[in-house]
Amino acid sequence: MKKLYLFLIFLVVLTPAYNQIIKCGDAHTKHYLQTKYPGIENFFASNYKWPENGRTTETLRIPVVVHLIYNNSSELLAEDIVRNQIEVLNQDYNRFNADASETREIFQEIAGKANVEFFLATKDPDGNATNGITKHFTEKTSFLDFDYALFLQAIITCGVDLNDPQSIADNLDCIISIYGSDPTQIDFIAQLDEVKSSDTGGVDPWDQSRYLNIWVCNLSVSVFGEQVPFLLGYAYPPVGAPNWPTEEFPEDYWTKDGVVIHYQVLGKDNPAIGSLQGINDQGRTLTHEVGHYLGLRHIWGDGDCGLDDGIGDTPLMANESQDQSGSIIQCSSLFNKNTCVDEGTDYPDMIENYMDYTQESCQNMFSVEQVALMRNMLMGPRLELVEAGASSTDDVSKIKHITLLPNPATTEIVVPSFTSFKLIVAYDINGKFQKSWINPERKIEITELPKGINILHLTDVKGNLYTARMIKM
**Burial (CB count within 10 angstroms: exposed 0-12, middle 13-18, buried 19+), residue 467:** middle
Do 210 and 173 belong together in one domain?
no
| Rg of the Cα atoms in the chain | 23
> What percentage of the chain carries pLDDT values higher than 70?
74
CATH number reported for the structural domain that contains residue 435 in this entry: 2.60.40.1930
Residue 321 belongs to what domain range? 8-146+186-378
Catalytic residues: 289
Q: Do 124 and 241 fall within a single domain?
A: yes
Nearest-angstrom CA–CA distance, 186 and 262? 19
Is the model more confident about 209 or about 191? 209
Q: What total number of domains does the chain contain?
A: 3
pLDDT tens digits for range 199-248 = 999 999 999 989 999 999 998 887 777 778 878 888 887 765 554 444 44
- Residue that is last in its domain, among 130, 162, 178: 178
Residue 69 in domain: yes
Domain boundary among 378, 408, 443: 378
State the angle between helix axes of 172-179 and 148-158 in degrees (0 to 180), rounded to the nearest 10: 140
Residue 393 lies in a domain: no
Residues 408 and 355 grouped into a single domain: no
Q: Give the C-alpha separation, 35 to 318, whole Å.
A: 26
Question: How many CB atoms lie under 10 A from the CB of residue 149?
Answer: 17
Same domain, 122 and 157: no
45-84 tens-digit pLDDT:
333 344 444 445 678 999 999 999 999 999 999 999 999 9
**Are residues 99 and 200 located together in one domain of the fold?**
yes
- Name the more confident of 46 and 95: 95
| Helices and strands: H and E segment counts in the chain | 10, 18
Amino acid at 149: A
Query: Do 149 and 225 meet the contact criterion of CB atoms below 8 Å apart?
Result: no
CA contacts within 13 A on the Cβ side of 419:
15
Residue 121 has pLDDT above 90, yes or no: yes
Residues 437 and 352 occupy one common structural domain: no
Q: Are residues 226 and 171 in the same domain?
A: no
- Model pTM? 0.74
Residue 260 in domain: yes
Tell me the C-alpha distance between 449 and 451, whole Å: 7
Model confidence over 293-341: pLDDT tens digits?
Answer: 998 888 887 777 877 787 889 998 877 787 666 678 899 999 998 988 8
Same domain membership, residue 272 and residue 363: yes
Tell whether 24 and 134 lie within a shared domain: yes
Better-scored residue on pLDDT, 45 or 379:
379
Which residue stretches of 10-164 are H helix? Answer: 26-36, 79-93, 105-108, 148-158
Peptide bond into 406 cis (omega under 30): yes
